[in-house]
Structure 1
Amino acid sequence: MRQTDLQSYETASHNFIEKYCPSIPIPYIIEEWTDSDREYHFTQMTTIYGVSLSRAWTNLSQTQKQQLAIDVAGHLRTLRKFKSDRMQSVSGKSLKNNWFIPRGHGTRTTRLWKTDDEIFDSAYRPVLEYKGIFARRIQLIRDLMPPCVGQFAFYHGDLYHGNIMVSARTGQLTGIIDWEFAGYYPLWFHYARLRFHVPNKSQIVDTEWKSLLAEVIRDEIPYATHGLVWWHAVWELIDNPKSQKGRDWLDLLADWIGGYEIVMPIEEYERYRSKDWV
């Protein structure tokens, strides 16, 4: 398997999981090496029994899908027990950008951020300013940002349907693969990453899977809907700085927070997320 520097991230994550979370089914690393120019990193792993969820999904019953989401959520709960005082990989390196940094920022990795101000001033403020967002609205976005300090927990980072392996016959989980994006992210991002961006129709299976998993973990994640709504608003305004929807979303979020952790009914969230909402 050909990899670049991402492989060192994945290897470190595998070693961590094997040592501290042995109940999580992952392939085992047999050996790894780099080419003579040290340009590419190669890893040989054991094979995971089963097929990808992308292949099995349409053949699974709703009960099997629900149980799979419950099982994966259980493993995510195990990972969340491991905390950090900053955003980083388990090896202490900066994380590969996993949609956390908005497009246009010009960087492919996060930094070893420790505070909310560091995160906002490095990841969000520059691109908002570049897009011409008014200073007052940028300050509002900062004020509404879900907390990150004290919230950095270990997360897989890319739970799309191709990274979930299941038994073709029973639908039971047999493995979780591709850990190159794994690391310590703010807890709200664990939920938001699952619900962010509606894929096109060719990826409807991934949408259904992530929506199901997100609903299972939602109540376990502090600031889950708060973070998702905030993230949607930021991306909406970056994509379209004049977006009335983005401004309305911020206003709605401000009303919901009221100085406390946001608690938004899922029905309101779905209305809020709808492209027809004004």
Structure 2
Amino acid sequence: MPLDENRTDTDPQHVPMTEGDITGHNIETTSEVASVFGINDERDSANASTKVYGPRDPSEPCVACGWTLAEDQCTSYKSSVKLFYAASSRGAWALGSKFILKERGTFPPSHEAANIRFLKERTSIPIPNMIQDWYEGDKYFTITSRIEGETLEHAWPNLSGEDRVRIAKQVAGGLEEMRQLKSDRIEAVNGELHYDTALFPKGGSGQPPLASDEELWAVLSEPLAHVEDGALQVLRENMPQCTPYTFTHGDLNYCNIIVKDGNFAGFIDFERSGFFPIWHEYVLCRYGLGKEDTEWKELLSEHITQYPKAMNFYLACLEHERNPKGTKAQKLLDDLVVGVAECPMIQVW
């Protein structure tokens, strides 16, 4: 999840927009876009009750620390353990300035601990150290080190154009090292299920490993059962080669990039990383969450290996799922057949 792990309590964290999942379904209205990007769990639904907070009873315990106002008045102790992020059933605490504690439910599972350990053993990419992870009942906890610096989100408005280009090139270099890691299957590390909803229509319930492009097509075509056979055949024939299945970060929003003194300092948020089609990282980089993140993703896209045909294939599949007989679906299909060399950059908000 996009946590700004490098802000302090005097520089409060805003509520992040997404956990990083771009779902392939029906991008039309604002509410649908929220669903597409997997953020419904971070906002109250229309039917959910809203708790109104006001002056607290001195005997009422804090929902975060369990301490009452009455107890607080009996001591001069001020904790350096700070809750700086909370959404749905998840929370993140700064343990002083050196460590981060995350607490979340057990479903969907987080692969962050396995991914960080996997990368630490095989790369020199700057990422947090995984100190400890464990389960307690229906909760899952991790403790990681904190990368020194600030998020690119926080730094972006004050960076020069030269700074931004330099950081994009440095991030691209880190991604290239990450992408040297390959698998013979589309899978999470250690052969676990993917819970990515960006690529898999039913990823929210867990996608088992896939051993070939044909198996991936079988999954992608499930929501296209209503599409005419001719269009389906064109889509299949124009699905770009997916091998080699490549280690993919999967959430390069600018809140997951740490910078310091105008340079790239590290990646954070590996909960949904794993082995995906070689083009998947590029496709995700063509979706920006707001104006500044779109600027960042477009710049980064210029410095990583580009797969415009994959993006156009992805969009064609989405549109055929939504409205297979529409003019937009036909136009996307035609562009795919003629091999249009460019693809759009999409700003969600």
Corresponding residue for residue 270 of structure 2 = 179
Give the alignment's Cα RMSD to 1 decimal: 2.1
Q: Deviations over 1:208-231 (max 9, x none)?
A: 1111111111xx35xx11101111
TM-score, structure 1 normalization = 0.82
Q: Distance in 1 between matches of 2:266 and 2:122?
A: 16
Q: Which amino acid aligns with 2:160?
A: S
Of residues 128, 148, 161, the one that matches 2:224 is 128
TM-score, structure 2 normalization = 0.66
Q: Deviations over 1:219-253 (max 9, x none)?
A: x35xx111011111111222333321121111121
Q: Distance in 2 between matches of 1:119 and 1:140?
A: 16
Q: Distance in 1 between matches of 2:282 and 2:331?
A: 22
The Cα shift of 1:109 comes to: 2.8
Q: Deviations over 1:26-47 (max 9, x none)?
A: 1112222211x2x211011111
Q: Deviations over 1:182-210 (max 9, x none)?
A: 111111112111114x54xxx11111111
Does the alignment pair 1:77 with 2:176? yes
- Contact 2:248–2:280 (CA<8 Å) still a contact in 1? no
Does the alignment pair 1:110 with 2:221? no
Structure index of larger Rg:
2
Q: Distance in 2 between matches of 1:4 and 1:206?
A: 28
Corresponding residue for residue 228 of structure 1 = 311
Does the alignment pair 1:251 with 2:348? no
State how many pairs are aligned: 245
Q: Distance in 2 between matches of 1:157 and 1:133?
A: 29
The answer for unaligned runs of 5 or more in structure 2 is: 1-101
Corresponding residue for residue 147 of structure 2 = 48
Structure 1 residues 106 and 88: CA distance shift in structure 2, 3 A: closer
Of residues 232, 253, 261, the one that matches 1:160 is 253
- Contact 2:110–2:272 (CA<8 Å) still a contact in 1? no
The structure carrying a bigger strand percent of its residues is 2
Q: Secondary structure at the match of 1:111?
A: coil
Does the alignment pair 1:95 with 2:168? no
Bigger relative CO (Cα 8 Å, ≥ 6 apart): 1
Corresponding residue for residue 13 of structure 1 = 115
Identity %: 33
Q: Deviations over 1:78-134 (max 9, x none)?
A: 0111111111122211212141024xx474333211111111112x211011xx221
The structure carrying a bigger helix percent of its residues is 1
- Contact 1:195–1:214 (CA<8 Å) still a contact in 2? yes
